[in-house]
Amino acid sequence: MIIHILLAAFYIENCISFNILVYSPAFANSHQNFMGHLADTLTDAGHNVTLVVPIADEGRRNVLGIKTTKQVVFIELDEIAKKEIVAVDSSMTSLWTEVATAEDTEKNFFWFTDLMEKTCANVMRSKTLLDELKSKDFDVAIIEPLSVCGLGLFRKLGIEKTILSTSCAHYDFLFPWIGEPNHPSYVPATTSPTNDKMTIRERFENYKYYKYMRDNMEILFDKEEQLYKKYYGDEISTWKELLPSASMYFTNSNPFIDFPRPVIQKTIPIGGISVNMDHILSQKLPKEWDEILDLRPKTMLISFGSMVKSHEMPDNWKSNLLKVIKSLPSVTFIWKYESSDTEWSKNVSNVYFSRWIPQTALLVDNRVSAFLTHGGLGSVNELAHCGKPALMIPIFADQTRNSKMLARHNGSIYLDKHELGNYEVIYSAISSILFDESYNLNAQRLAQIIANQPVKPKDLVIQYTEFVAKHGPFPTMDPYVRNLNFIQKHCLDCFFLYYSSYIISKTAVIISVSIVVFKITNAITSGGCK
């Protein structure tokens, strides 16, 4: 009997379902997809998850990234916001050839900071939102720290237990505010083009990528704080208090793939939650695709993702890529291409264009030999899990970092996008990735490591979120370093004190010895001459 009661208590303790809020503004597919996967992971574990979606870009209302999460609360644009928010420029054509430097950070991310500020104001103006969310009595709220507006909202709703989650490998601009060590000397910044091994020039560049982004985000967060204090009251904490008061920090980084770096105990790497290998392996390739893969001994996929469009690629790069394809007649190329105008390629028979490709089903098919990709983090994670060699040609944002991160494992080759116009370079890279078996072996080795990692990222998400719901927040896990200034933090004062006292004591010894020696010699010489 007692055993039964204990078992029942144990069962209830472990099967308790929590009310979880996942806050995911509609502004960019990759971010929304990641937050959607996070929501689904928790829904699938039996929790009651509500996705709160502040509309930022009306065009992305349907890109929620969720399959099993059913409850969605949209925060619609009001009349003021509809006038203020001009549709996000859907034409990303200029990104193909643009060379972004650290100094361009403010200019390049203006569309984002401006959109976030206006979206925040719109969230604040919503009359019904607070009552609607309050009635749900959330245990935990999860937000991507690209905006602090939601943190103000959580506080207003009385939600004490929060989790920050980045959809990129890391947000280094966040480190000083949460007390995480930052080492731009060997950890590439989010949008930096550098590797971990840097020359002094590269370290300076990398540092600037970090610093400009940090300054930029600080301005945005200050504006958002003004907004939530204005609407919700001055007693809501500042963002500089809300960020470090989060119970955990999830990052979309996998330690077996990413550049190594030191983290604090609250940081939990959950990279890979978006790759569901069981589902991928169970997919059946449609007949049409099956037939294409049987055409030639080898097949290569080409996709530059959903943000920049292949058909907007500069014409000379396009025809160069086609020339390379033509010179490899034993290989079928499948190119994700968003236009039906493929007249320019009609003389080449081994290329197949499609607006959509079943990417993951193709990646696990043995007949597909390699992938040419832009290095979006979603694709990089899929590649690493599926063990396919790749040619990485990043276009913008964090894609260069992702590409170099994967290329370190020797299963892929990184190339600058401007090489797309260079026949020799592209031909040689594509031939290597297709015919040099070492890339394949290295890619498969990495896939083996990931498949056998001791703890699955999905389990980390579930266990840590449940733990936060039951026992969070954890103020004692907040490192004290946030309260120290530069000199104190690096112990420069101690270093100075240590060496100055050392020098003083040594000097004192030398002076006293010299005095004694001088006195003795003086005594001897004066005595001896008597």
Ligand X SMILES: *[C@@H]1O[C@H](CO)[C@@H](O)[C@H](O)[C@H]1NC(C)=O
- Contact footprint for ligand X (CB under 6 A): 17, 19, 48, 136, 344, 346-347, 409-410, 442
Tokens representing 221 are 């967060």
Report in angstroms how near the CB of residue 70 gets to ligand X at its nearest: 9
Report in angstroms how near the CB of residue 41 gets to ligand X at its nearest: 17
Nearer of residues 109 and 353 to ligand X, judged by Cβ? 353
Angle 163-15-143 (CA atoms, 0-180°, nearest 5)? 15
Distances 506 to 82, 332, 496, 498, 502 between C-alpha atoms, Å: 73, 76, 15, 12, 6
Helix (H) or strand (E) holding 162: strand 162-166
Report in angstroms how near the CB of residue 506 gets to ligand X at its nearest: 45
Spell out the residues 6+ positions from residue 34 whose beta carbon is closer than 8 angstroms to its own.
Answer: 65, 144, 165, 167, 252, 274, 378
Report in angstroms how near the CB of residue 347 gets to ligand X at its nearest: 4
Report in angstroms how near the CB of residue 22 gets to ligand X at its nearest: 13
Nearer of residues 125 and 409 to ligand X, judged by Cβ? 409
The DSSP line for 204-220 is: HHHHHHHHHHHHHHHHH
Sign of CA dihedral 156, 161, 164, 165: negative
What letter does residue 231 receive in the DSSP assignment?
H
- Asked if residues 403 and 349 have their Cβ atoms less than 8 Å apart, the reply is no
Report in angstroms how near the CB of residue 379 gets to ligand X at its nearest: 20
Report in angstroms how near the CB of residue 400 gets to ligand X at its nearest: 19
Nearer of residues 31 and 318 to ligand X, judged by Cβ? 318
Nearer of residues 344 and 498 to ligand X, judged by Cβ? 344
Report in angstroms how near the CB of residue 15 gets to ligand X at its nearest: 11
Tell me the residue type at 212.
Y
Nearer of residues 194 and 412 to ligand X, judged by Cβ? 412
Report in angstroms how near the CB of residue 323 gets to ligand X at its nearest: 10
Nearer of residues 49 and 460 to ligand X, judged by Cβ? 49
Round to whole Å and give the CA distance between 411 and 437.
10
Peptide bond into 297 cis (omega under 30): no
Round to whole Å and give the CA distance between 215 and 203.
18
Helix (H) or strand (E) holding 302: strand 298-303
Distances 432 to 273, 318, 409 between C-alpha atoms, Å: 31, 20, 15
Helix locations, 233-330, DSSP H: 239-242, 277-282, 287-293, 315-326
Tokens representing 100 are 């972004």
Report in angstroms how near the CB of residue 396 gets to ligand X at its nearest: 26
Nearer of residues 306 and 442 to ligand X, judged by Cβ? 442
Closest CA to 400 of 425, 371, 376: 376
- Asked if residues 73 and 314 have their Cβ atoms less than 8 Å apart, the reply is no
Nearer of residues 43 and 166 to ligand X, judged by Cβ? 43
Nearer of residues 18 and 249 to ligand X, judged by Cβ? 18
Nearer of residues 260 and 528 to ligand X, judged by Cβ? 260
Tell me the residue type at 2.
I
Tokens representing 53 are 């979606």
Strand partners, 332: 299
- Asked if residues 388 and 281 have their Cβ atoms less than 8 Å apart, the reply is no
Give φ, ψ of 34 to 5 degrees.
Answer: -65, -45
Nearer of residues 236 and 413 to ligand X, judged by Cβ? 413
Report in angstroms how near the CB of residue 342 gets to ligand X at its nearest: 10
Report in angstroms how near the CB of residue 186 gets to ligand X at its nearest: 16
- Asked if residues 434 and 370 have their Cβ atoms less than 8 Å apart, the reply is yes
Distances 299 to 283, 373, 396, 448 between C-alpha atoms, Å: 19, 14, 26, 23
Nearer of residues 201 and 346 to ligand X, judged by Cβ? 346
